[in-house]
A = this chain, B = another copy of it.
């Protein structure tokens, strides 16, 4: 077991109707709020009007139009400018992980005099950030309970995972009913994203019986409840359990003391969605089983055997290699069964830039230090297998 230094200070207010606590939560910070959101789905479900009504005594500046795979330019830059111009006290993010990730970068950038990219690219360590409150409308990224933010910079094809404890949300308001209207496609992508977050922590060294059990419970819960959410989008219990499970994805609680894995699937997928702006969870679902098959060897075999038996209930008396192969097949089939397109060509990626992406990943993601080290050639082979 490795040493660790751990803290997740975020308050989770969870359940149907908990938004009534919003004014009390916001009143801790001051009167000037930057309200961030995306393309208007929060207006369709009535959440926008409800928030404005609850906060009618506050002064609200808006930043809307934040896109999936949120962009440094214009969203982060616009947000930072608004915060400085209006002397914003607190950011209220209403939406999914992309809106929240963008809000985190804005929160740090607003307390920094230079170019916010200095912070995102780890050139400078942020000294502070504006407080963030979020109302989540999509179960997927876990951004509501972690200090991570993924920001894309289009002109350089960079998609960086910016992690800094200063951007932990102060409070996350999680009402599962807001996810009832999430499309089948986005629900499935959210399941795949959360599943992969667990895989990135499960497939590593120095794991414990405790952490393995937590991760295996996450897999089983995400698959069982994810399927229910797909089949019956207004199943409150399933949406609720999926929302909570997704929240544990990236704050480390599932893997305290494990060795770092290098998060290889995220390293690869970040290039895909930076170059092609695809849906992150779909990219992960496509990459994952190919990555698994690529790294399966005598050293990694016991992990896949454990995964197969404890997650998919495979017969422990089968030959180990067979269990591992069946577990990888089952992973693929699960993603396929919830409607995810399982080939890069289906999401608009052909072979024309695979070399360029493999090189970009090899140079920027440090996957030669991953659980199963990946060279540029390895990455290329995983991409080709994913076509």
Residues of A within 8 A of B (CB): 1-18, 21, 208-210, 212-214, 216-218, 220-221, 224-225, 236-237, 240-241, 244-245, 253, 256-257
Contacts and interface: CB of A to CB of B under 8 A. Distances in A.
B3 A209 contact: no
Contacts of A216: 213, 217
B217 A1 contact: no
B257 A14 contact: yes
Given A5-B13, A5-B14, A12-B5, A209 B221 contact: yes
A236 B3 CA distance: 12
Contacts of A224: 209
Nearest to A165: B11
Contacts of A236: 1
B4 A14 contact: yes
15 contacts: A4-B12, A4-B14, A5-B12, A5-B13, A7-B9, A7-B10, A9-B9, A12-B256, A208-B221, A208-B241, A209-B225, A212-B217, A240-B257, A244-B257, A253-B253
Given A1-B15, A213-B221, 13 more contacts: A1-B240, A3-B18, A5-B14, A5-B21, A208-B221, A209-B217, A209-B220, A210-B241, A214-B214, A214-B217, A216-B217, A217-B217, A244-B257
A16 B4 CA distance: 10
Nearest to A2: B15
Contacts of A17: 3
Contacts of A1: 15, 236-237, 240-241, 244
Q: Please state the number of chain copies in the assembly.
A: 2
A21 B3 CA distance: 13
B6 A12 contact: yes
A11 B4 contact: no
A165 to B, nearest CB: 10
A264 B4 CA distance: 34
A6 B11 contact: yes
A23 to B, nearest CB: 15
A198 B146 CA distance: 25
A205 to B, nearest CB: 13
Given A210-B241, A213-B221, A7 B14 contact: no
Nearest to A247: B256
B16 A5 contact: no
A363 to B, nearest CB: 33
A10 B213 CA distance: 23
Contacts of A217: 209-210, 212-214, 216-217
Contacts of A257: 14-15, 240-241, 244
Contacts of A244: 1, 208, 210, 256-257
A16 to B, nearest CB: 7
Contacts of A4: 12, 14-15
Contacts of A16: 3
Given A3-B18, A253-B253, A209 B241 contact: yes
A21 B13 CA distance: 33
Nearest to A4: B14
Nearest to A245: B210
Nearest to A212: B217
Contacts of A7: 9-12
A8 B4 CA distance: 17
